[in-house]
Structure 1
Amino acid sequence: MSNQNMDERSFSGTVTRATGSWYDVDTGGAVLRCRIRGRMRLKGVRSTSPVVVGDRVHGSGASDGSWVIERVEPRRNYVIRRASNLSKESHIIAANIDRALLLVTLAEPETAPEFVDRFLVTCEAYKVPATLLLAKSDIQDPAAMEAFRAVYEAAGYPVLEVSARTGAGVEEVRTLLGGRTTLLAGNSGVGKSTLVQTVDPSLDIRTGEISDSHHKGRHTTTFSTMYPLADGGRIIDTPGIKGFGLIDIDGAELWHYFPEMMRLAPGCRFYNCTHVHEPGCAVRDAVERGGLAWPRYESYLKILDEDDKYRK
């Protein structure tokens, strides 16, 4: 067994599935079903789970014949969100990611702009390159898609229009995935699992339809799961995310995670400008001139206001 000494019953590998109780670890030669030591916690991380998909872990066999994770290697990055409203705990979605792909739909269902911006802020904060996928492009309004592209490409993010139904953009997504570990995220109903199966038909991933009664997506992925791709690389399919609360991001530093604001900030009169009320603010001037998209600035203000209570 690769990466494993059967005499000592020790192993090392990558977590490919985490349910909170059991963890699948790919050792390179086999997938082991593991649990974690009850006392194991990661220093400095208040997380709902100390082990997540993408973690590199080490462990050994227990006396009862089961496998136990004993140590997690330091993470080079991760995508994290607040576990729930008013919670101080965090939920790490996945770790050690080469790129995050966020699926967005402008209708059926609608992805809120603030959700997109919160996700991108987290990617910036934890150094995860992000690409936006405008999903179900065959049924979206072309003018709305063009307006979306203009906002986010100006901010510095790649935007791809994709459709699992017509195949538009699928080859470009395959190119992005090749040889990398990629996190695929989005609200329920945006078509994550369907897109993955279109990119790699060999994968067996459940899909669901939009609920007519509430016009929202049904959850088809219960736990984050990493899948190997036929053409190389690995993709992490995540449960649909309803909200994306930020955690451990100071209000005074929030603008650091809006790339277009970072480019403008050196022109502000005050070095500690908050870009909200100060005179001589290059960011606010750019918004008024149309040089910085209002929807992005509006998200910045909303996040500052709504998240302030969690920082007290």
Structure 2
Amino acid sequence: MAGRRLTQRQRERIERLQARHRELARQPADSVEESTVGSGVDGLVISHQGRTLVVEDTVGQLHRCTARQNLGRLACGDRVVWQASETGGGVVIAVNERHSLLTRPDHAGLPRPLAANVDSVAVVLALTPEPSEYLIDRYLIAITAIGARALLVLNKVDLLDDSMLSAFAERLAPYQRIGYQVLYTSSRTARGLDELRSWLQNRTSLLAGQSGVGKSSLVKALLPDREIRIQAVSAATGHGTHTTSASTLYHLPDGGDLIDTPGVRSFELGAIGVGDLERGFPELGPYLGRCRFSDCRHEIEPNCALRQAVACGAVAPRRLDSYLQLHSALERERRYPS
């Protein structure tokens, strides 16, 4: 999962088109589309189910909408301009600029928008499935690439004895040393839930992690009225039941929004560059480019700044190995694009 990367010219063209759409959206309906009535109003996409969008208006009412084809694929969390239609639903006619976008590949391998305007991502881990530091690193790179804030959550700690908890703490210590916060939680005992609520407050966030780590239990604990809200979304779509595969945005009781999506079981790095990779390893920043040889592979070359940083304890050995592995993968992709 990664942010969509566009050239400056593409970004400028898209923004000009969107600005024109927003201008048209506030004009009388007959100058925009005959099937719509009234002027355009602001809204928030809180669920995306197939071709159906559920848009929340400024007073909290939900509306079943479709979107104009020229807008491309929309995502949960998009801020839009929409108009009521003569059939009783609505039509999304413009999308406001996104400050972040998480995607995943569709069946054709193309990036599919998953969640827009995300400020923070909590990566949830547990005893099983066994956490992989390499996977954690991929999560953190993808989160950093879109400019979001990351949190590591070790969940189901009620299943861990003191020695197991200590071993996990040791494994996660390198992340804490470079500035990532680690929370220990249990939805069964409510341990750490207040701290998690505080971290999510006043942000648009989502929980990411492998299947089986307890994301759903955490979501239920954070959203005590989730079932009521699901019914409201289902009523708005007219589908009768709320599909479990749909991404949905919920307003947290203490402020902030949580996007619940089953699409973040795995992250794809997508089209990232070396700069994105380096930003995902902030502890390497002071040493990159300081090796004796400009083409240093950081393996056996003399006076390698990165290896020296590992030797003096400034960089965790496993983190450097992960960086080198991911860097090699990027090099292979650059030389042999698919």
TM-score bin, normalised by smaller chain: 0.7 to 0.9
2:208–2:265 contact (8 Å) kept in structure 1 = no
Number of equivalenced pairs: 286
Residue matched to 2:67:
36
Structure 2 residue identity aligned to 1:31: L
Q: Does 1:163 align with 2:186?
A: yes
Structure 1 residue identity aligned to 2:156: K
Residue matched to 1:213:
none
1:132–1:160 contact (8 Å) kept in structure 2 = yes
- Unpaired runs of 5+ residues, structure 2, are 1-25, 29-35, 230-242
Identity, % of aligned pairs? 36
* Secondary structure at 1:39 match in 2: helix
- Supply the RMSD in Å over aligned alpha carbons: 3.0
Q: Does 1:111 align with 2:117?
A: no
User: Of the candidates 109, 113, 119, which is equivalent to residue 98 of structure 1?
Assistant: 119
- 1:40-189 matches, within 5 Å, as 40-41=71-72, 50-83=73-106, 87=109, 89-105=110-126, 107-140=127-160, 141-189=164-212
CA distance in 1, matches of 2:129, 2:122: 18
- Unpaired runs of 5+ residues, structure 1, are 42-49, 207-219
2:48–2:54 contact (8 Å) kept in structure 1 = yes
Shift of 1:235: 0.8
CA distance in 2, matches of 1:205, 1:110: 34
Structure 1 residue identity aligned to 2:130: E
1:100-128 CA-partner distances (Å, limit 9, x unpaired): 111112x2222322221111101111110
Q: Does 1:233 align with 2:256?
A: yes
Higher relative contact order (CA 8 A, sep 6+): 2
1:105-163 CA-partner distances (Å, limit 9, x unpaired): 2x222232222111110111111011111111122321332123212112221111111
CA distance in 1, matches of 2:170, 2:215: 23
1:221–1:240 contact (8 Å) kept in structure 2 = no
Q: Does 1:22 align with 2:22?
A: no
Residue matched to 1:254:
277
**TM-score normalized with structure 1 length:** 0.80
2:123–2:208 contact (8 Å) kept in structure 1 = yes
**TM-score normalized with structure 2 length:** 0.75
Structure 2 residue identity aligned to 1:177: L
1:197–1:205 contact (8 Å) kept in structure 2 = no
